[in-house]
């Protein structure tokens, strides 16, 4: 059992090296320690899109040793939403009296027939919201319309959706339904770690998902598959410490799950949020953009809440269109290639003319590569060997 | 849009205001904001400050203003009157004379509440015209105050987040910037409105094909602004400011410029935030707090709040 509890004592990579670095470590010290302890090329995956953006925004890639590669995983809710799911939402908007409410970047993701944003500019009623509760308020304020909440996100947003469903049921609101596109993080990580073509030497696990799930849901990665894991917050130092922890684990021959984010993550997670999820949803297979159908990786409404299922309510299904020609979002999400290897990157696919969701989303890895690295033309990019190592 | 005016001699390096007939500065801008009343100001105040500041950053004393109002049917007269009083107050503070105006009421649904367009005219008081064509390697970049307060205040209001101590920086810049006009080393200034500081830096770097390096630690950002950015997933570099100017000065004049700015209550947070360089031509670099380097690129599209 290599799992180390953080309940009593916050784990830090430096706790095990008291003579090397003192408690007053700085970014410089951590970077130096990473360089000293890195003895072989390693590739770590940051699972979360917020981590991806923080890594690029803070220039972490530019200060890491060339033999240390970071690849971006399937942790951006926009990026993993399947094109068929977008098409389904757009088809729904063609029906009369539909108002669709959804979060941020979802508006711009292109489906086969354009994006929700384009439908909005044509006069369809598409609302930008920042919470599930706002969608329900819209329903209460507009009883003559059918309000459909396009619900995306991982374990972080699913509890709020569940709470909204319960509230809608309690208030007996009849003009409100949901396209449930929520996804679960652990199943997709298991699929990645089992992929023989992918050599991931460590996972930087998402802090906010871990706030909900706690530690237990990830144990299998270290215990069963022998992959070191570090739960990290979102400040640059949080991420650097997680990277240092993973490097230290390798140099010590360990594979454990460490939490570098004990100020927010309790080992047992958030039981109230987990109860909400289990009360309203049941696990189901879900289609991930570019990754295909993954068993038990999604959430479906339980039968007692079927009245709020937009698919049933409007008698529609989610189509399975072919992805846009040349788009490699699936390979990027799976960590098989970096965005620079996609033939469309910075050519046919740019933030102005995005082809795939990894370029649309502010937390997508293609968008981050483009925005913070000038499409690969930045003079501060890491050495070619590191980039190639991630692609091979 | 400019391509259809080939004989007008307009270039892509458009500054905030045009200098015509030698010493006359003129600018025009339209203002639409939601909510129209926001922490720290309203659309009336914004409409005057916005155009007056466009003149001020080119060393032009704001003198006259023309205003056009397009109101949606149903807008309450009392509300419109309140905005006009705010506008009048700023005009009085700056001694600007309202010389022309127009009001249109359009059917409900044709505009969202209220649009105000202002055209400001003034008198250039510097000997040489300030502009990005004066930028030189070695120049220091100054932010006249902390960045992103207007964008953060609007974003917070729009998404029902109301942190204490967060107000728009909406304010007239002329009184704070006027003393700088005496500095020989003053190169150019720009108020960081839509697109924020990051966009202004990109426009300077690309417009002059020079490099600019910003130092993240030195850029003044209030905690309330950073908090809103953390919650919504925004980058403060791209949040709109309505009372903050980016200023480029020769290195020898940087300390003097800072001292003059800090005499104004609006600019107590003024700081040197970067340098013009011969390296990475056409590109803005940010030296990050952890010692890394990354590109600051032009923003694309509307900033949308993060999902989780």
The pLDDT assigned to A11 comes to 43
Are B308 and A78 a contacting pair at CB < 8 A? no
Are A372 and B290 a contacting pair at CB < 8 A? no
Average confidence (pLDDT) over A215-234? 95
pLDDT over threshold 80, residue A153: yes
In a 13 Å sphere around the CA of B287, the CA atoms on its Cβ side amount to: 11
Question: Which residues in chain B have Cβ-Cβ distances shorter than 8 Å to A56?
Answer: 294
Strand partners for B31: B116
Are B304 and A208 a contacting pair at CB < 8 A? no
Average confidence (pLDDT) over A209-222? 95
The pLDDT assigned to B162 comes to 77
Average confidence (pLDDT) over A354-369? 90
Question: For A8-12, B185-189, B254-258, which range has the lowest pLDDT when averaged over its residues?
Answer: A8-12
Question: Which residues in chain A have Cβ-Cβ distances shorter than 8 Å to B285?
Answer: 380
Average confidence (pLDDT) over B103-115? 93
- Band of the pLDDT at A15, cuts 50, 70, 90? low
pLDDT over threshold 70, residue A21: no
Question: Which residues in chain B have Cβ-Cβ distances shorter than 8 Å to A378?
Answer: 283, 294-295
pLDDT over threshold 90, residue A197: no
Taking the CA of residue A352 and the nearest CA in chain B, the distance in Å comes to: 7
Alpha carbons A263 and A231: distance in angstroms, whole number? 11
What is the per-residue pLDDT across A253-297, written as a single tens digit (0 to 9) for each?
A: 999 999 999 999 999 999 999 999 999 999 999 999 888 999 999
How many A×B Cβ pairs under 8 Å?
A: 106
Q: Which residue of A has its CA nearest to B292?
A: A59
Question: Which residues in chain A have Cβ-Cβ distances shorter than 8 Å to B286?
Answer: 59
Question: Which residues in chain B have Cβ-Cβ distances shorter than 8 Å to A240?
Answer: 290
What is the per-residue pLDDT across B148-171, written as a single tens digit (0 to 9) for each?
A: 999 999 999 988 887 788 999 999
Question: Which of A63, A105, A374 is the closest to B291 by Cβ?
Answer: A63
Are A31 and B304 a contacting pair at CB < 8 A? no
The pLDDT assigned to A1 comes to 36
- Band of the pLDDT at A388, cuts 50, 70, 90? very low
Are A236 and B308 a contacting pair at CB < 8 A? no
Q: Name the residue among A222, A168, A88, A208 with its Cα closest to residue B307.
A: A208
- Band of the pLDDT at A231, cuts 50, 70, 90? very high
Are A351 and B301 a contacting pair at CB < 8 A? yes
Question: Which of A60, A362, A372 is the closest to B306 by Cβ?
Answer: A362
What is the per-residue pLDDT across B259-272, written as a single tens digit (0 to 9) for each?
A: 999 999 999 999 99
In a 13 Å sphere around the CA of A79, the CA atoms on its Cβ side amount to: 30
Are B304 and A362 a contacting pair at CB < 8 A? yes
What ipTM was reported for this prediction?
0.85
Phi-psi region of A274 (alpha: psi -120 to 50; beta: other; left: phi over 0): alpha
More confident residue, A8 or B15: B15
3-state SS, one letter per residue, for chain B: CHHHCHHHCCCCCCCCCEEECCCEEEEEEEECCCCCEECCEEHHHHHHHHHHHHHHCCCEEEEEEEEEEEEECCCCHHHHHHHHHHHHHHHHHHCCEEEEEEEEEECCCCCCCEEEEEEEEEEECCCCCCCHHHCCCCCEEEECCCCCHHHHHHHHHHCCCCCCCCCCCCCCCHHHHHHHHHCCCEEEEEECCCCHHHHHHHHHHHHHCCEEEEEHHHCCCCHHHHHHHHHHCCCHHHCCCCCCEEEEECHHHHHHHHHHHHCCHHHCCCEEEEEEECCCCCCEEEECCCCCEEEECCCCCCCCCCCC
Which residues of chain A are at the B interface, by a Cβ-Cβ cutoff of 8 Å?
A: 27-28, 31, 50, 53, 56-63, 77-78, 103-108, 128, 130, 152-154, 156-157, 208, 234, 236-237, 240, 351-352, 362-363, 370-374, 378-380
Question: Which of B290, B297, B300 is the closest to A240 by Cβ?
Answer: B290
What is the per-residue pLDDT across B25-71, written as a single tens digit (0 to 9) for each?
A: 999 999 999 999 999 999 999 999 999 999 999 999 999 999 999 99
- Band of the pLDDT at B10, cuts 50, 70, 90? low
Mutation target among B295, B296, B301, B303 for the A interface, most CBs of A within 10 A:
B295
What is the per-residue pLDDT across A297-326, written as a single tens digit (0 to 9) for each?
A: 999 999 999 999 999 999 999 998 888 889
What is the per-residue pLDDT across A96-144, written as a single tens digit (0 to 9) for each?
A: 999 999 998 899 888 898 899 999 999 999 999 989 999 999 999 999 9
Percent of chain A with pLDDT over 90: 74
Are B295 and A371 a contacting pair at CB < 8 A? yes
Question: Which residues in chain B have Cβ-Cβ distances shorter than 8 Å to A78?
Answer: 307
Taking the CA of residue B280 and the nearest CA in chain A, the distance in Å comes to: 7
The pLDDT assigned to A157 comes to 95
Are A27 and B301 a contacting pair at CB < 8 A? no
Question: Which residues in chain A have Cβ-Cβ distances shorter than 8 Å to B304?
Answer: 104-105, 107-108, 128, 362
pLDDT over threshold 60, residue B90: yes
């Amino acid at each position: 059992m290599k799992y180390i509890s953080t309940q009593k004592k916050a784990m830090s990579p430096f706790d095990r090296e008291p003579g090397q670095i003192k408690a007053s470590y700085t970014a410089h010290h951590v970077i130096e320690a990473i360089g000293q302890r890195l003895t072989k090329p390693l590739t770590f995956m940051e699972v979360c899109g917020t981590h991806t953006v923080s890594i690029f925004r803070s220039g972490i890639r530019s200060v890491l040793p060339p033999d240390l590669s970071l690849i971006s995983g399937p942790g951006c809710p926009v990026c993993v939403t399947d094109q068929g799911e977008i098409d389904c939402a757009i088809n729904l908007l063609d029906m009369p009296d539909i108002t669709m409410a959804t979060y941020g970047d979802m508006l711009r993701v292109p489906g086969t027939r354009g994006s929700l944003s384009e439908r909005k500019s044509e006069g369809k009623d598409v609302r930008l919201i920042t919470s599930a509760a706002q969608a329900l308020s819209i329903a209460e304020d507009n009883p003559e319309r059918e309000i459909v909440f396009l619900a995306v996100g991982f374990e972080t947003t699913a509890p709020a959706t569940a709470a909204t469903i319960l509230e809608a049921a309690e208030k007996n609101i009849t003009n409100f339904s949901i396209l449930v596109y929520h996804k679960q993080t652990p199943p997709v990580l298991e699929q990645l770690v089992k992929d023989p073509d992918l050599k991931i030497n460590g996972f930087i696990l998402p802090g906010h998902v871990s706030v909900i799930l706690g530690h237990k849901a990830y144990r299998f990665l270290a215990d069963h598959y022998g992959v070191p894991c570090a739960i990290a917050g979102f400040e640059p130092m949080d991420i650097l410490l997680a990277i240092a922890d993973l490097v230290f684990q390798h140099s010590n021959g360990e594979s454990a799950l460490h939490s570098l984010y004990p100020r927010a993550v309790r080992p047992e997670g958030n039981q109230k949020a987990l109860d909400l999820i289990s009360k309203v949803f049941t696990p189901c297979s879900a289609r991930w953009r570019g990754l295909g159908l993954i068993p038990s990786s999604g959430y479906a409404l339980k039968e007692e809440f079927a009245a709020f299922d937009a698919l049933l309510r409007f008698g529609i299904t989610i189509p399975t269109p072919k992805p846009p020609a040349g788009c490699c979002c699936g390979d990027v999400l799976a960590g098989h290639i970096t965005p620079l290897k996609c033939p469309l990157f910075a050519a046919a696919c740019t933030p102005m003319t995005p082809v795939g969701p990894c370029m649309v989303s502010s937390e997508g890895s293609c968008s981050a590569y483009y925005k913070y690295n000038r499409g690969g033309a930045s003079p501060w990019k890491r050495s070619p060997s590191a980039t190639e190592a991630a692609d091979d | 849009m400019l391509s259809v005016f080939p004989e007008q001699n307009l270039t892509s390096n458009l500054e905030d205001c045009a200098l015509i007939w030698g010493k006359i500065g003129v600018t025009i801008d339209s203002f639409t904001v939601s909510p129209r009343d926001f922490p720290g100001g309203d659309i009336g105040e914004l409409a005057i400050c916005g155009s007056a500041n466009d003149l001020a950053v080119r060393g032009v004393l704001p003198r006259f203003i023309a205003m056009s109002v397009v109101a949606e049917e149903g807008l309450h007269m009392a509300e419109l009157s309140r905005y006009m009083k705010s506008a009048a107050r700023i005009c009085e503070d700056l001694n600007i004379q309202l010389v022309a105006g127009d009001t249109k009421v359009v059917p409900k649904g044709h505009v969202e509440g209220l649009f105000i367009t202002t055209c400001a005219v003034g008198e250039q008081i510097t000997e040489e015209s300030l502009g990005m064509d004066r930028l030189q390697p070695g120049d220091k970049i100054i932010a006249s105050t902390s960045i992103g307060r207007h964008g953060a205040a609007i974003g917070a209001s729009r998404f029902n987040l109301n942190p204490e101590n967060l107000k728009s920086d909406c304010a007239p810049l002329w009184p704070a910037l006027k003393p700088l006009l005496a500095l020989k080393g003053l190169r150019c200034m720009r108020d960081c409105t839509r697109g924020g500081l990051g966009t202004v830096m990109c426009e300077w770097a690309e417009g002059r094909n020079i490099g600019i390096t910003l130092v993240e630690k030195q850029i003044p950002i209030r905690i309330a602004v950073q908090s809103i950015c953390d919650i919504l997933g925004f980058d403060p570099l791209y949040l709109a400011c309505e009372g903050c100017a980016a200023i480029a000065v020769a290195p020898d004049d940087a300390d003097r410029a800072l001292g003059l700015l800090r005499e104004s209550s609006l600019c107590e947070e003024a700081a040197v935030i970067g340098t013009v360089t011969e390296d990475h031509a056409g590109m803005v670099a940010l030296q990050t707090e952890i010692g890394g380097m990354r590109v600051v690129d032009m923003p694309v599209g509307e900033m949308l709040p993060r999902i989780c």
